[in-house]
């Protein structure tokens, strides 16, 4: 870069006589006189020792900073928080998980806005800090690149974190011994990186790459690999180039870009959390995305990836055959992606994919277009008298397309989990866990513990679950989440009673409570809203501000 480098934001911080105090504050943190003439690139690191997903990210932040500096910019590193879904799962601490998405996005916005960075790299490696990074990128609309921290390697015996959760259910059923549970607990998480299946982290990494906000193949690199460090280094340089060229996220993020993300998530059989997070990112980008767009786009996209949790393979195995780039090339050639969308490379998606080779002929992970796992999307938006404003189901084809059963109703996850573990829940039940929505939880806790316990007890084919909370990307089975309106807001899920018959029909896209309107009206008249979980602090503030799950559960809806 030269002295003519574009500095649309940093110049207001460091230029001129009146900004001498600002410059004085920056010398001690590593600035030299010539640095004030350079574009400033923030490096937002989500490093912490809270979780293996993020324990290595400061190394990537160092690489990104080096890349920006070598490209002629001046890098400045800063941190934000992260929390662990896997550790807090099934506990009151999980209420903070989705809330942390907003805290992280707000904190990145705060630092970048206050410090006057001309662009930034955002590095995320866990379920909520990744969409949070993308939300901040969209919201700030300054040149930026997202870097995925990378996936974890598989544990011994091809185990992962879901193996442990399901072993807990097996232990309750008597099929897993104390010794076997301890053995899988000790080997399932071998080191740094995000959970290894097509769970939420790998889903969102793939979606963000498809949006055009990360460099090609950033979503498909192991956390501890040199390729991942090189990706971070290139990202720092890429932001410096984007600043120079004046390319902003608003030049990249369009409805077509979000359709690309939905397409890739669908082909990969990704997490239901993608619905929540893509809606939130679109909200910050000012794009009118709705849950019905997932139906519209998913209706033309087949499920191709035989990935965990419903399938067999882990992300590290997909990486070994080329990652998601050959899949994206296949989708592009079939007319299922918008190739003219701009990306952070400064090139279009089609240009990025032009020279990508196909997968090896003998691979088993990604099915051909003419032999899909499912001919249309697995993210099914349901409506009906139980969810008039929508619900999200993950129907992969393994579960069947319809389920009718008898409701067994629980106020909160703990009560539902206890009933599953002690054998109260039986084949033919529809487990209804309510008051876990964005406001009622608050925070939409993920139900990986209950779904894994159901699977571990051998009931995944004969028990359905419905909740106004949400599901981990590791959940599988006949599960329906994001029910809106939520119970705390007086949605119909609040009026379900033990013994009611419930039908979920993925073909008709319906979730029906077989109770007549007169009876429902009587139940509604007698309903009393429960006391809120929190009356002060972050959770109370979040519950007051948060929107419906069908709008992305955001706190700043435009």
DSSP string, 223-283: TTSHHHHHHHHHHHHHHHHHHHHT--HHHH--HHHHHHHHHHHHHTT--THHHHHHHHHHH
Specify whether the CB–CB gap between 195 and 161 falls below 8 A: yes
pLDDT at residue 469, as a whole number: 98
Q: Residue 272 maps to which CATH number?
A: 3.40.50.2300
Look at residue 368 and tell me if it is in a domain. Answer: no
Element (H, E) at 520: helix 517-526
Q: Are residues 343 and 416 in the same domain?
A: no
Average pLDDT over residues 371-388: 96
pLDDT at 286 over 80: yes
| 4 within some domain | no
Same domain, 141 and 129: yes
pLDDT, mean over the chain = 96
Q: What is the dihedral of CA 343, 348, 350, 353, to 10 degrees?
A: -50
Q: Cβ of 116: how many Cβ atoms within 10 Å?
A: 18
Q: Is 163 a catalytic residue?
A: no
Task: Flag whether 136 is in a domain.
Answer: yes
Give the residue among 254, 141, 245, 265 at the shortest CA–CA distance from 204: 265
- 355: tokens are 């020279």
In angstroms, the Cα distances linking 16 to 11, 12, 36, 37, 303 are: 9, 8, 11, 11, 57
Q: Does residue 536 surpass a pLDDT of 80? A: yes
Two tokens at 109? 């916005």
Say what the pLDDT of residue 399 is.
Answer: 66
Range of the domain at 514: 379-551
From 353, 387, 416, the end of a domain falls on 353
CA torsion, ordered 481, 483, 487, 489, to nearest 10 deg: 130
pLDDT given for residue 396 in this prediction: 79
Which of 302, 335, 353 is the last residue in one of the domains?
A: 353
Query: Predicted confidence band at 3 (pLDDT cuts at 50, 70, 90)?
Result: very low
Q: Do 334 and 452 have their domain in common? A: no
pLDDT of residue 478: 86
User: Tell me, what's the pLDDT at 398?
Assistant: 67
Q: For residue range 214-237, what is the model confidence (pLDDT) as tens digits?
A: 999 999 999 999 999 999 999 999
pLDDT score, position 157? 94
100 and 208 inside one domain: yes
The per-residue pLDDT for 36 is 97
Among 28-32, 384-388, 457-461, name the one with the lowest average pLDDT: 457-461
Q: Model pTM? A: 0.97
> Which percentage of the chain shows pLDDT scores above 70?
99
Residues 170 and 149 in one domain: no
Q: Are residues 458 and 434 in the same domain?
A: yes
Q: Indicate if 331 and 399 belong to the same structural domain.
A: no
Same structural domain, 270 and 401: no
Strand 478-484 versus strand 390-394 pairing type: antiparallel
- Shared-domain flag, residues 412 and 540: yes
Q: How many whole angstroms separate alpha carbon 144 and alpha carbon 146?
A: 7
Evaluate whether residue 366 is within a structural domain. Answer: no
Q: Sorting pLDDT into bands at 50, 70 and 90, what band is 1?
A: low
Q: Which of 190, 205, 237 is the last residue of a domain?
A: 190
Cβ(283)–Cβ(317) below 8 Å: no
- % the chain with pLDDT above 90: 92
Choosing from 45, 107, 472, 550, the catalytic residue is: 472
- How many Å apart are CA 145 and CA 281, to the nearest integer? 14
Is 34 within a domain? yes
Q: Is pLDDT above 80 for 2?
A: no
Min mean pLDDT across 164-168, 272-276, 500-504 is at 164-168
Looking at the domain assignment, is residue 171 inside a domain?
A: yes
233 plus 216 within the same structural domain: yes
The total number of structural domains that make up the chain? 3
Split at pLDDT 50, 70, 90, the class of 395 is: confident
> In this structure, how many other beta carbons lie within 10 angstroms of the beta carbon of residue 107?
19
283 shares a domain with 387? no
Helix-strand-coil percent breakdown of the chain, rounded to 5?
Answer: 40, 15, 45
Q: Is the pLDDT of residue 474 over 80?
A: no
Task: Please tell me whether residues 439 and 512 are part of one structural domain.
Answer: yes
Measured over the CA atoms of residue 393, residue 394, residue 400 and residue 405, the dihedral's sign is: negative
Residue 364 domain flag:
no
């Amino acid at each position: 870069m030269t002295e003519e480098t574009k500095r649309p934001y940093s110049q207001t911080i460091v230029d001129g006589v009146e900004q001498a105090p600002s410059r004085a504050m920056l010398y001690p943190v590593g600035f030299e006189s010539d640095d004030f003439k350079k574009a400033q690139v923030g490096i937002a690191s989500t490093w912490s020792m809270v979780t293996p997903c993020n324990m290595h990210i400061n190394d990537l932040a160092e690489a990104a900073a080096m890349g920006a500096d070598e490209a002629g910019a001046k890098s400045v590193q800063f941190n934000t928080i992260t929390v662990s879904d896997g550790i807090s799962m099934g506990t009151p601490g999980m209420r903070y998980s989705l809330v942390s998405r907003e805290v992280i996005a707000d904190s990145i916005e705060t630092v970048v806005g206050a410090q006057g960075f001309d662009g930034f790299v955002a590095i995320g490696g866990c379920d909520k800090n990744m969409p949070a990074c993308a939300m901040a990128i969209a919201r700030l609309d300054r040149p930026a690149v997202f870097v995925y921290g990378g996936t974890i390697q598989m544990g011994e015996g091809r185990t992962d974190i879901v193996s442990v959760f399901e072993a807990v259910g097996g232990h309750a059923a008597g099929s897993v011994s104390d010794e076997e549970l301890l053995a899988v607990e000790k080997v399932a998480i071998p080191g740094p990186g995000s959970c290894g299946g097509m769970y939420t982290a790998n889903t969102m990494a793939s979606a963000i790459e498809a949006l055009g906000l990360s460099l090609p193949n950033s979503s498909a690199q192991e956390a501890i690999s040199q390729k991942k460090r090189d990706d971070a280094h290139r990202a720092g340089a890429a932001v410096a180039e984007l600043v120079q060229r004046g390319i902003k996220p608003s030049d990249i993020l369009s409805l077509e870009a979000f359709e690309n993300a939905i397409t890739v998530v669908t082909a990969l059989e990704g997490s239901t959390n993608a619905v929540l997070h893509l809606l939130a990112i679109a909200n910050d980008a000012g794009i009118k995305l709705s849950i019905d767009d997932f139906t519209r786009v998913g209706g033309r996209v087949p499920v191709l990836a035989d990935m965990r949790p419903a399938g067999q393979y882990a992300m590290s195995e997909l990486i070994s055959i080329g990652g998601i780039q050959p899949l994206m090339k296949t989708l592009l050639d079939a007319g299922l992606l918008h190739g003219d969308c701009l990306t952070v490379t400064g090139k279009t998606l089609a240009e990025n994919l032009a020279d990508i080779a196909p997968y090896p002929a003998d691979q088993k992970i990604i099915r051909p277009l003419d032999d899909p796992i499912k001919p249309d999307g697995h993210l099914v938006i349901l409506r009906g008298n139980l969810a008039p404003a929508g619900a999200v189901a993950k129907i992969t084809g393994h579960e069947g397309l319809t389920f009718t059963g008898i409701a067994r109703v629980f106020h909160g996850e703990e009560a539902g989990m206890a009933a599953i573990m002690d054998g109260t829940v039986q084949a033919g039940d529809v487990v209804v866990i309510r008051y876990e929505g964005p406001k009622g939880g608050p925070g939409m806790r993920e139900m990986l513990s209950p779904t894994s316990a159901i699977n571990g007890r051998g009931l995944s084919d004969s028990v359905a679950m419905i909740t106004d909370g949400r599901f981990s990307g590791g959940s599988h089975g006949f599960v329906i989440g994001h029910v809106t309106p939520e119970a705390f807001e007086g949605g119909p899920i609040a009026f379900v009673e033990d013994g009611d018959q419930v039908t979920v029909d993925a073909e008709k896209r319906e979730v029906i409570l077989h109770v007549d309107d007169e009876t429902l009206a009587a139940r509604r008249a007698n309903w009393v809203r429960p006391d809120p979980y929190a009356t002060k602090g972050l959770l109370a503030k979040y519950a007051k501000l948060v929107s419906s799950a069908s709008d992305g559960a955001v706190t700043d809806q435009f």
